[in-house]
Each structure stands twice: as structure tokens, then as C-alpha cells.
Structure 1
Amino acid sequence: MITEEINFVSKLNNCDIKTYKECLDKYTNNFEKVLKLETDFPIFLDTNVLLRYYSISFTAREKLFDFIDKNKHRIIITNQVQKEFLKNREDVIKKYFEQVTNKIPKDFSSDIVNKLKSFIEQHKIILKDYPYVETGIMKHKEELEQILNQLNKDSEDKYSEFKNLIWKDKFLDLLCECKQINNLNQQEIILIKSKFDNLKNDIKPSNIENILNTTKSIFPGLCDIKEKPENPYGDFIIYHEIMKYMIQEECESIFLTFDNSKGDWMSKNKTAYIHYVENMYLNTNHIIYILDAERTLEKILNVDIDSLINLINVEQSDITVISINAILKTHYIFRNTEFSGATKHIVTELLVNNYKHNSEIIRDLDKISEIMEVFKKENPNYSSLGFFRFALRIVNPNYRKIVRRGGSIENNPEHFYTKIEKYINMLNSFS
């Protein structure tokens, strides 16, 4: 049972040196095997891992499907995860169709076919002097228009698949074969929520970013006080669902999550919080391994499992074109730089790189002010917006995506990072 004596709050700051060392030794002894998922420990999947299936490429979906199928005997889906998954599943499927499948023919038309037509129109007089150019272009124009027609047709077919997926879904069938648990009774849930309320009593949503810099003060669900104020208990409940299972089964466990952008399951550098592991050890006498699903699964599956759609609820974000332009005009890091304003695609870029609030952006800019003075001297021609994007990419190792003006999302190529590697190393040496 989860009781007054057995819960996250009861064991906070309650460890002696001997037990602490014992916990660390047990954790590190198995860590390399756990990272490769080579142990037989049960694997708990976070909601975002299940939902990611519907937002990645179909090649990646098949590999993720095969992974879950192969490990379904030890994959556990808690009751809270089931609720969150079912609440969001249909919306994610719909978003994928709207933002990826339905968008491809539109982007192909605007970015390729229409630009080719525009080029011919703009240069039609001079092209008369280069007949082979015009002939070649017209030939490719016809081919591209045929491709566009086929894309439009296939998009319609995909729409039928999208509608069918809502009702008939092999992934749902597979999840039914995994172990599903509903192990907390109503009394325990009331107790867990009351403990969470005690933790959040003195926390102001505006101060959460500062708390994230004080590791021992972080707890599961901390960021949801701001992001889901009406019901912030989900992560805290999941933590205790895992806790009760580990007590009953007397076992270690693995928790896979993509939720490292908030910072309340693991730090932004994708490492687990020691006090979570310590707390679980004090409550269960066993070790929990909280792993970044992106790093773990990409290595095991050998496939890119980046989400192709923006799963962030924009309504939860205070980042806008106006707010970014205000930062570009007022933050001291941009003094003596030529102002260039942000547009909508910059806001999207910040969101897909897991920034949700202006306070997070300002926090990262504050961290890198000294390095950017060096950058500014060595690269004096950058405008404030270019300077802004470079600064965030240097300070934030998770800033890996760029958004084009047309809305397409791309991963920054590795060669780009050779340009900023020097500054990243400088920042690391400072810290």
C-alpha cells in the first residue's frame, strides 16, 4: 500500500550516507546493461512514448511496434498512462494527417512547382537566348506536375487510412497484449494528491524555472503546476503506480519517457535525478532507472524517432512573435546588434525545440552572455535574430531542429555544429 509512511514525500531528504552510497552502487552496477535494455527488468512506458507512435515516420513506427511486440511480456502500462493516452490519441492522429500527410502536396506545390513557374515567368525574355535551359525546365515542369497530381491522389488515399486508423489500429491491439495495471485504490490516490498539494503549496508558477535549478526541490509533476493547473497530478500518480508495483513484485524497474524538455522527470541534459532514484530505493529497496526514450530507443532501433508534428499545445505557451521581438530589443545580450524581427516560423522553431515559455528563453540567454560577447566580436555581421538562434543552439544541446519559412522542419546537419563547437566547449569550460 501507498501510506503515510510509504510515499515520495515521506522519504524526502531522509537518507543517510551509507544508504545513499548503497543506492548509487546498485544503480551504477547495472546501468550500462539497462541503457541497452539487456536486463529482464519490467519496462514502464510514459504516455508520450505511446503517443509518439502516431507522430513518427511509418518506418520508425514499424520498428517501435516490433520493439514493443518483442518486449510485451515485460512492458507495463499504468492506469494513469492509459487515461492520458486515450485522452490524446485521436488528436495526435489527426494532427499527423494535417501537419504531415496533408501538407506534403501543398509544400511540393508551393516550394517546387510554383517556384519553377515563377522562375520561368521572371526570366522568360532572357531564356530565349538559352533555349536548352527553357526546354529542360519545361520538361521537368511537366514531370513535377505529374508528381504533384500523384501526391494529391495519394493524399486522398491517406485520408481514408487516417479515418480507418481511428477505428482499426494494430497498435491498440498490441498494447492490449502488454501488461496493464490499475493498482492504486481511491484512498491511495487521495493520499497521493494531498502529498502533491503539500509540495506545491508554497510554489508560485512564475518561480518554477528557478526551482528547476535547485535539483533536490524538483518532484514529478512540478512543471504541470503551471502547464496543467486544473489537474497537475498525473506524473506524481505515475511515480507512485511504479512504486507500488516495485513493492509488490520486489523488483527493479525501467521508466522510458520523452518528457525531458520540462525538466521534472530528468534534467535537460537527459540524466536522471539522483534523489528520485534514492527516494524510490528508500520506499521499495529497489532501483528505478529513468531513461530518455529518444536516446535509448534510437540506439536500439537504429532509426530516427523524432516527432514529425508539433505535439505542444500552443495555448499553453506564452511565446509569440511580439514577445520574441521584445526580447530581441531589450535583452542586454543584443546590445550593439542590428535588429531584425522574428516571424511566425521562429515561434514554431522555439516550440518544436521544447521551449514553452519566454522565461525559459531568457534563462538560457542569461547563461551564455559572456560567450556571446566573444561570438559577437568574431561574427560581427549577424543581426539580432541570427545572434539569438546561434545563442540558443550553443547553450541548449536539445536545440536540434530548424523551421523554414514555409513551415517545414529539418534537423540541423552535423556540419553546422562544427561552426559552434568552439563556443560550446567554451561554455562547458566556464560551467
Structure 2
Amino acid sequence: MGEDAVVIGAGIAGLSAAMAVSGFFRNVTLVERDATEPSDDPRAGVPQGRHPHVLTSGALRALEELFPGLSQALTEAGALPLSAGWDIRQEVPGVGALPQRRIPCPTFAATRPVLERVLSQSLKAQTNVTIRRGVAALGISTAPDGSRATGVRVEDEDGEVKDIKADLVVDASGRIGLIARALEAIGRPMPRGEAIGIGIGYTTGVFRIPSDAEPDFGILVTWADPPHNGRSGYLVKIADNVWQVLMVGRGGDQPPADIDSFYDFARTLATSSISDALKKACPPQKLTRFRFPESTRWRFGAGSAPAGLLPIGDSLCRFNPIYGQGMAVAAQEAVLLRELLQSCASRATDGLSWLADEFPSRCDALVEAPWMTSAVPDFAYPVTTGARPQDFDERIRAQGELLQNAFHDEAAHRTLLGVQNLLPRGFLALA
């Protein structure tokens, strides 16, 4: 496809994108603002890095396509393999906990640093990929006529500014700013944006629970009870006797930052499961907070971006993180990118021009289902702002019926897990 590709950002989207393009360009450079190598500590550029991360089955399936042997590598790194139907306990207010069923829906509970470290190690094995840390992307360069991207201007830790030439630039920075400035410079309009104000607030602590008091599941999710109670909780095992505990609130009802109030907040959840699990737990040294004001989505149409410039991951869509969709969609977009690059390679005309139109359009279709899956329950809360789907009532009724049916019907349970894990329609029905 060309000599050089540059990927901006070494998060899950950037690592996946770099692997996807590595088979089509002679040199691939991944630039990341954070200077530190992946370790056991979250890096500064991932503000939610100290909070729970669950690799859904859809994310795992896509990442395995890009990084063969990933499941084994994650297990060796200390991530906990789980089965969504058996090891993840979902508690629904007023209904109870979904029954345990041995549905083949593999997932992993892992900290964000473990995920990034494993993916980085696999990517480094590609001899044509260079990862440059401590290098900030300042802007995306384009040809004088604005027809195509030509590279990225960067600044290293010493303050030296350089230009990295590229035939393809993939923006996985997690923000729209770099692309917005590039479009403005060449006189192209911004793509149509959409935002849903959700006002989510997190507080997470890492607790040690003695072996004789540990729950018999790997993950517990206590759902909120809309429209009036937006409080939910998560209990995620990350090592022997070590659990991440997350409290979530909305709008003005934010979870507290001190441990006594944290325990009080846990006692107000729809069930007592998390509060009961914490009774014998050793409290954390500190609690970590995170705010996520809104979900955002950018709809790139044909001709929106010059040839050789592609947004991916959060640069296209930032999902409400409590539903665990962001990593899955980013990985699936990277798989799509690799498939389209294969098609590009056989085209007689300028493949990168075709790719600049085709990839965002196909991503928009890929994003639609998870976007609506999270938007509908978010709009069940009066504090949520934005444009409701026109068929909101029908959609929320259908989601509620599927959830109710999942309690007594295994086929419905399989469908529910497929939706939650971003698996192809009917995938678990065939398993």
C-alpha cells in the first residue's frame, strides 16, 4: 500500500490499528504522548486506567484475529479468564440475578495496564513497527491541495519538533482535535457530531478480600434502577483475593471520594451483594475518581477527510464506559481496517482515496448498534441530555422484554449476552 504509516496513540485502538496496518506498509510508526513503557501502573494518558476493565467476548474475538495467541498471553500475564454466562453475576433491581448458564461466551477481567502491556509486547514482535513514546502529535500534515494526508508533526520529550512522513495516518488519539484542525486548514467542514450528556461519575478502590470470604463469581454487576436511582456497582476480581470495586452515579448524585462514604454508597445499591462482600475486606489506601460527561459520535461521510487520513476508536465515537463497549468497537474497527486494506491492495485506482471514504462509512454502520444499545438505557434517566431516538419507547420496551425473558429462557439469555458482548447476531445461538 505504501512506504510509511503513522498511528497516533498507543491505547487499545492505536495498538490494534498498528497491528492491522503492519502487513501493508514497509514502516509503521506508533507515536504516544506518554513516555513510560507499559507497566503495572496506569499511564497518565488513560484517566480511567485505574478503574475496572472487562474484555468482552466481542473484543476478545476481534483482538484474537489481530493478535494470535492473545488469550494465552493474557492468562500468563495474570488476567482472569471468565465465562460471561457463568462467572459474571448480573443483578437486576426488582427481578434478581440472572441464572448461571454454561454459555460459551469467553471474557477476561484484567487491569488496563495488563491489557496494554500484552498488546504492546505482541506488536513489538512485528519487525516493521516502531513504537515511539514520549512523542506528542501536534498536527496532521496534508498536501498543498488538501487532497491527502502526508504525515504527522510531532514533538519529542526534548522539545524538538519533527515531521514524520506517511502515506497513511490513523488517528487513535481519542479526541477529534487533530482531525478538526487538519480539516479546517484545508477548508473542509467538520463531520456531523452527536452528543448524549450522561454525567457519569466513578469512584474505584482496590480491596483485599480474604479467601474464606471471597464471592463465588469473577464479576458482579448490580444494575441501577431508572429513572430515579442511577446508582450502580461493580465488583471485579483482578488477582487472588484482590478486587476492584466501582461505584457509579449520575448527574448530581456522584459517588464519594472518602472510604466511609464509599461504604455508605454501596449500602444504597439495589442489592446488598457488594456491601456484604466488603464487610471482611481490607480497605484501599486511596480511592480514585473519574468523570465522563458525555458520549460523543462523529459521522464521517464520503469526502469528509483527505485520502490517507482515518479516525478510529474514540476519535470516531466515545461510548459511555459503564457498558464496556469502547475496546470491543475499537478492535472491531481495526479488523475492518485490515480487511479493507486487503481490498485496497487489489484495486487498480488510488486505494487510499477509496479507503478514506469506505472505512468511516463502514465504521458508522459498525458503531450504530452499540451506540443505540447504550443510548436507550441512558435516556431512561431524566438527567440525560441529547436527542432521543425516535423509536425510544419501542427500543426500551424491547430491551426490557429481552432481559425479562433471559431469566427463564436460555435462548433469550444467549441473545442478551450476544448484545452485551458485541457479538454477531445469532453467534451464541449457534454455539
TM-score by length of 1: 0.27
Give the structure with the larger strand fraction: 2
Pair member with larger Rg: 1
